[in-house]
Structure 1
């Protein structure tokens, strides 16, 4: 059922707008507002994190346990699909990158900087630095919006996928620094293994020697953030050239996007083989 759920989620994501409907964060955001409004949240950030992440995950686990014995577990398939769709990343990456790509292709650095700040929340002191920041965000959004979610869903099921997304939402929307800090610690732990599997995938579908050389020193380093690892290894694995201006810069983004597509295909094949032979 795991491969079927992943396949259906990808088909729905590509061919329909249902993901945006499923990804209604309104009820959870109201819970966040209520939790942060309480006096206990300022004194006990761990309690707030329990209410925001652990409690919904526990409720999902109990519901899945109730559905699994029925109809050989097939009644739980719609719930698996809904949770996986909800757990995928927010927004439309290609659509949000469109205005930046247009400005960069024209060679209008000022417009590209304004668009990057408006649409992507990015800034840099020079044009090459801005493009590197966009590349890093492209890699990071693909990881936290797709690869990490799929990894934990395949490994531990919808409970782990939902926990990852709720941690990401907490980091993004919580106002209390203490809550964001603790959620960040948990997400760092969630990111540690899947980001290294993704980097190994980059080596298999990209420049194997260069990618392995770039990540070997930090392969087992616990403290290095997943976003930093991706920004360092991704461009190397894509075998990007140095030119940044104009169409050459767009070519760098296209090469990274192609690398991510090849990594996705590799993951689909690996999941299918794992399901087949386990």
Structure 2
């Protein structure tokens, strides 16, 4: 039997728990998630493309090169001091790629806002894409935006960290920023943005479906599954496409069923604050379920 801390999945679980704990106990550390260096790299990469005598250099190669560099660092550190530097590197990169904003704090700011103006202002931080239209203070848009933000801030990063380690988490975050954050998209031409957006959708495909399946398990199974079927029947694109809009529909169905069941001692599905509070509760259940699966995989690794 192998020592628990020496199994890769156990190290993954420990790294995730450390990052989650640091977010709750040391929230000020989130200011370290500064990607200003990426803007410098982006401007230099763009100049290389402009100066090239042939076609422009594909911008999607930038996150790919960073992922390869991260993989090489992982491999090198794994050979030093029983892999402890590699584990520390993984924790640091996962923390850096997480968020960057604290979703729990953003939801709490909306729920605790003293008046409607400040509540509406606080709600804008829940948008997964800052370039999207103003988020109305209504139940359905709030729930959809909160789930989309959870996918970008939590589940997408976590999924790729489990699959590829710190390189996966960093690559996911960089693609998300280049494809969707206005600070970066403003400097990228349309054709390059289209490729990056498609890449972002590809990276979101698997975690989105896993979130949907977990949502069915931790909320009202029948309501979620039926909504999933109805969505694809209405859009006629099938399950194996990059149309990920079903997550918003499933989120509304799951949260509404949860609220109507009286979870949290409130049953008003038209109250945006009730729905938002329940959406946060459901997302926490999904995160715990994911961590439980990782823990089971870690325990299974003890016997091999």
- For normalisation by structure 1, the TM-score amounts to 0.84
1:147 and 1:198 in contact (8 A); partners too? yes
The one of 151, 162, 178 aligned to 1:143: 151
CA RMSD of aligned residues (A): 2.8
2:273 is paired with a residue whose SS is helix
1:20 counterpart residue number: 30
Aligned residues: 267
1:46 and 1:179 in contact (8 A); partners too? no
1:231 counterpart residue number: 248
**Match status 1:3 vs 2:13:** yes
Q: 1:233 to 1:90 in 2, by over 3 A?
A: same
1:215 and 1:229 in contact (8 A); partners too? yes
1:48 is paired with a residue whose SS is coil
Q: Name the stretch that deviates more: 201-210 or 69-78.
A: 69-78
Q: 1:94 to 1:4 in 2, by over 3 A?
A: closer
2:293 counterpart residue number: 270
2:78 and 2:85 in contact (8 A); partners too? yes
Q: 1:179 to 1:41 in 2, by over 3 A?
A: farther
2:58 and 2:192 in contact (8 A); partners too? no
**Separation in 1, partners of 2:41, 2:219:** 43
Q: 1:45 to 1:17 in 2, by over 3 A?
A: farther
Where does 1:9-88 land on structure 2 (aligned, <5 Å)? 9-17=19-27, 19-40=29-50, 44=55, 47-51=58-62, 53-88=63-98
Structure with the bigger percentage of helix: 1
Q: 1:118 to 1:90 in 2, by over 3 A?
A: closer
Where does 1:122-201 land on structure 2 (aligned, <5 Å)? 122-123=133-134, 130-171=138-179, 172=181, 173-175=184-186, 176=188, 177-201=190-214
**Greater RCO (Cα-Cα under 8 Å, separation 6 or more):** 2
**Separation in 2, partners of 1:118, 1:268:** 26
**Match status 1:211 vs 2:221:** no
Deviation at 1:38, TM superposition (A): 4.3
Q: 1:119 to 1:9 in 2, by over 3 A?
A: closer
Deviation at 1:170, TM superposition (A): 0.5
Consecutive unaligned residues of structure 1, counting only runs of 5 or more, are none
Q: 1:45 to 1:54 in 2, by over 3 A?
A: farther
Consecutive unaligned residues of structure 2, counting only runs of 5 or more, are 1-10, 233-237, 261-266
- 1:10-30 superposed Cα distances (whole Å, 9 cap, x missing partner): 111111136424412121121
- 1:182-237 superposed Cα distances (whole Å, 9 cap, x missing partner): 11111111111111111111111100111111223547231312xx2221001212
**Separation in 2, partners of 1:185, 1:94:** 28
